[in-house]
Chain A
Amino acid sequence: MQPLERLIEADRVHRSVYTDQEIFDREIENIWEKTWVYCGHESQLRKAGDYVTVQIGRQPMIMVRGLDGRIRVLYNRCPHRGVQLCGNRQGNTGSTFVCSYHAWTFHLDGRVKGIPLSHAYDGTRMTSENPDCSMKPAARVDSYRGFVFASLRAEGPGLAEFLGEAKIAFDDMCDRSPLGEVEIVPVCHRVVQHSNWKFFMENQLDALHPSVTHQSTGVAAGRVERRLREQGRTPPLYYHYLSTFASSFEQWDSVQTVNFPRGHGILKGYMGLRPDDPDTKEYVAAMHKAYGEKKAEEFLGRSIHHVLIYPYLSVQSPLQQLRVLRPVAPNKTLSEIWHFRLKGVAPAIYRRALWYFNLVNSPATMINADDLENWTKGQWGLESQGGEWVSFHRNHGGDTQEGEVTFSNHGTSEAVMRSQFKAWVQYMGAARP
């Protein structure tokens, strides 16, 4: 492995950052197992004992609601012989975790509760007062507007500092509810990407690719949309979700990206999600009533397509969906896809977002089918010796810097990738021996 500073230049990066096992291991150690990682939403754990299992880097964790109502994140490991305590992805464990091997039991906060024939430990150092007898908790757990994160390290920035401006992902999602809250829809689609996690993160704010990659779907949807118009009918909004992907290069170039420190960023909105139908009018009226007209219009008028929280989260806040990456190997990434219901809105507003979830984010997606194909082929290309560098030269030098924020000026600027690698260097560089 070459020294990291020789792999990252201002306008290009070395291919090995996508393919090298040693670099990947260091990413897991220095990024995922240190920084704040998204675990889930409070509404997944309604009552005490409700749990979900979640992967943080290489660590299998349990997020659980305690008898005191608090949410904790614990290592999914029995301190006796190491067996995982929860074998399911979710469920309710009652008031106790029970190990399936030798029946050690634990309180919901991880403290050991009972050990069979515990006198057998008398005189040893493994007695119930020893913290080694209890489940190990994540060093830090915090949440923002119901979204729970954990960090496996006690040191480092707090959650608010980590999120920075990108916290607008959750504000924008929740503010669109007249009650200011969302609840999770308990279905998680999981799709394996046969590519390095960076492909997805770069792709999310890459406005040059949609009309190329998704042309087939955009054209097919646009054709049906136009036919309905010619027949004097109003095509449903969700056809537009698909047809806009095939917009022209010039249109895509007119969208802007906003790039924050730590690699976070925003692709500004382009779809137009405020049609003039009675359902929308009723919804807007409810928003005005809840927040006053000025504030409500500010919430509804935000121009966001999605927000990236680097290095693993893509939040499509106007449609209340979220994709989270769990890297598995340099060439393998698991994506988990969730969506949320705005509290206090009519079913029609939920249905509008649901169509996007079904058409774009489900495992029968007509959009990601072609993205995944690109990323797989991209990974193979970078594993080859046909070239050493990955180019991010597009509009290099043409971005606008305001303090720590970079505005792309052009939608298709590779400012996004340059910004992500700036953050990557900071994460990885801090660990330089």
Chain B
Amino acid sequence: MTDAKLQKRLLEDVVIFENRDSSRTGAQLLAPDHAPAAPAAGGTLPARGVLAQGSQPSSLQQRVEQFLFHQAELLDGKHWGAYIDLFTDEGLYWMPATPEQTEWLDSPSIFAEDKRMMEIRMGRVTHPNAWSQAPQWGTSHLVGNTVIESVDEREVRVRSRFQMVELRRDQLRHFAGTYRHTLRRLGDDFGIVLQRVDLLNGQAPFDYVLQIWV
């Protein structure tokens, strides 16, 4: 076959999928009730610590730490909706591909998700046919070394370290790195404007992928 002939064949029959009603999607058509993994979301939310509730005197350092611990606990408890709600409307969860990166629009990221994209990710893992969620899966986070880098009336910038162990099927994986939170002050509470996550092993080969935020 000549180049010109191939070129012609490639210009024919251009199929463009429009976003039709997704009820006709393949597996749904065949197995609408297949439900391997009931999502844990919807269970009782973990209680906020007393220091975050304002009934006890607390320092900014303590309130910030309580907020970070709460965020980690929401992740480990698979409370995806409540986790997303910790972000402000324009909030962004960002895991750059390399520690040198300073922006996410013109360079690759592992995650660069606004609330709507986070909603899509939540929609994926809670869908009854999210096949990769069928094996047992869970995480355990430990957050520490919390340092408040700057404070003004509107925002607090916080640096911390995390360790995360993930169980998938019968295997444990270990992740570690740095969080940098830019928190909007909402009374005594906070909303996340930007969470930057620098994974220590972000450029090492991934044995399987990350299904949810770290």
B13 within 8 A of A: yes
Complex CA distance for A243 and B19, rounded to whole angstroms: 7
Chain B min CB distance to A289 (Å): 21
A372→B208 contact, CB < 8 A: yes
Chain A proximity mask over B84-103: 1 for CB below 8 Å, otherwise 0: 00000000000101100000
A225 within 8 A of B: yes
B108→A358 contact, CB < 8 A: yes
Neighbour of B205 across the interface among A211, A334, A365, CB < 8 A: A334
Cβ–Cβ < 8 Å partners of A370 in chain B: 130-132
A143 within 8 A of B: no
Cβ–Cβ < 8 Å partners of A298 in chain B: 7, 11
B186 within 8 A of A: no
B44 within 8 A of A: no
A71 within 8 A of B: no
B111 within 8 A of A: yes
Chain A min CB distance to B90 (Å): 15
Chain B proximity mask over A192-233: 1 for CB below 8 Å, otherwise 0: 101000000000000010111101111111111110000000
Question: Do A363 and B20 form a contact, CB below 8 Å, given A216-B123, A251-B15?
Answer: no
**In the complex, chain B residues 188-214 whose Cβ is within 8 Å of any chain A Cβ:** 202-211
Complex CA distance for A266 and B10, rounded to whole angstroms: 9
Choose the segment among A11-19, A98-106, A112-120, A299-307 that binds chain B (4+ C-beta atoms closer than 8 Å): A299-307
Chain A min CB distance to B13 (Å): 6
A258→B209 contact, CB < 8 A: no
B209→A372 contact, CB < 8 A: yes
A293 within 8 A of B: no
Which B residue's beta carbon lies closest to that of A266? B10
A423 within 8 A of B: no
A301→B11 contact, CB < 8 A: yes
Chain A min CB distance to B200 (Å): 14
Cβ–Cβ < 8 Å partners of B20 in chain A: 247-248, 251
Cβ–Cβ < 8 Å partners of B204 in chain A: 190
Neighbour of A247 across the interface among B11, B17, B202, CB < 8 A: B17
Chain B min CB distance to A226 (Å): 7
A397 within 8 A of B: no
Complex CA distance for A358 and B26, rounded to whole angstroms: 25
Which B residue's beta carbon lies closest to that of A337? B108
A23 within 8 A of B: no
Question: Do A216 and B6 form a contact, CB below 8 Å, given A191-B206, A251-B15, A351-B106?
Answer: no
Complex CA distance for A372 and B135, rounded to whole angstroms: 13
Which of A194, A219, A268, A301 is packed against the most chain B CB atoms within 10 Å? A219
Chain B proximity mask over A390-411: 1 for CB below 8 Å, otherwise 0: 0000000000001111010000
Complex CA distance for A36 and B27, rounded to whole angstroms: 39
Chain A min CB distance to B185 (Å): 29
Question: Do A403 and B1 form a contact, CB below 8 Å, given A185-B107, A192-B205?
Answer: yes
Cβ–Cβ < 8 Å partners of B3 in chain A: 165
B110 within 8 A of A: yes
Which B residue's beta carbon lies closest to that of A350? B106
B109→A224 contact, CB < 8 A: no
Which B residue's beta carbon lies closest to that of A347? B106
B26→A369 contact, CB < 8 A: no
Question: Do A364 and B209 form a contact, CB below 8 Å, given A220-B127, A357-B108?
Answer: yes
B131→A272 contact, CB < 8 A: no
B108→A271 contact, CB < 8 A: no
B205→A248 contact, CB < 8 A: no
A366→B131 contact, CB < 8 A: no
Cβ–Cβ < 8 Å partners of A302 in chain B: 7, 10-11
Choose the segment among B57-65, B66-74, B114-122 that binds chain A (4+ C-beta atoms closer than 8 Å): B114-122
B10→A247 contact, CB < 8 A: no
A249 within 8 A of B: yes
Neighbour of A269 across the interface among B15, B111, B130, B202, CB < 8 A: B15
Complex CA distance for A216 and B28, rounded to whole angstroms: 10
Neighbour of A215 across the interface among B10, B27, B97, B111, CB < 8 A: B27
A221→B120 contact, CB < 8 A: yes
Cβ–Cβ < 8 Å partners of A334 in chain B: 205
B120→A224 contact, CB < 8 A: yes
**In the complex, chain B residues 1-57 whose Cβ is within 8 Å of any chain A Cβ:** 1, 3, 6-7, 9-17, 19-20, 22, 24-30
A224→B123 contact, CB < 8 A: yes
A121 within 8 A of B: no
Complex CA distance for A266 and B7, rounded to whole angstroms: 12
B27→A339 contact, CB < 8 A: no
B112→A358 contact, CB < 8 A: yes
B14→A301 contact, CB < 8 A: yes
Complex CA distance for A364 and B214, rounded to whole angstroms: 10
Cβ–Cβ < 8 Å partners of A95 in chain B: none
A404→B17 contact, CB < 8 A: no
A239 within 8 A of B: yes
A303→B11 contact, CB < 8 A: yes
B19→A216 contact, CB < 8 A: no
Which of B9, B107, B120, B131 is packed against the most chain A CB atoms within 10 Å? B120
A430 within 8 A of B: no
Which B residue's beta carbon lies closest to that of A171? B3
Complex CA distance for A303 and B127, rounded to whole angstroms: 32
B140 within 8 A of A: no
Chain B min CB distance to A377 (Å): 9
B141 within 8 A of A: no
Which B residue's beta carbon lies closest to that of A228? B116
B132→A373 contact, CB < 8 A: yes
Question: Do A271 and B16 form a contact, CB below 8 Å, given A211-B27, A223-B123, A365-B209?
Answer: yes
A44 within 8 A of B: no
Question: Do A213 and B131 form a contact, CB below 8 Å, given A268-B15, A351-B106, A364-B209?
Answer: yes
Q: List 5 A-B contacts (CB under 8 A).
A: A168-B6, A185-B107, A194-B207, A358-B112, A364-B211
10 smallest CB-CB distances across A and B, nearest first, come from: A220-B123, A211-B26, A216-B127, A272-B16, A190-B205, A216-B130, A246-B25, A373-B132, A248-B24, A363-B206
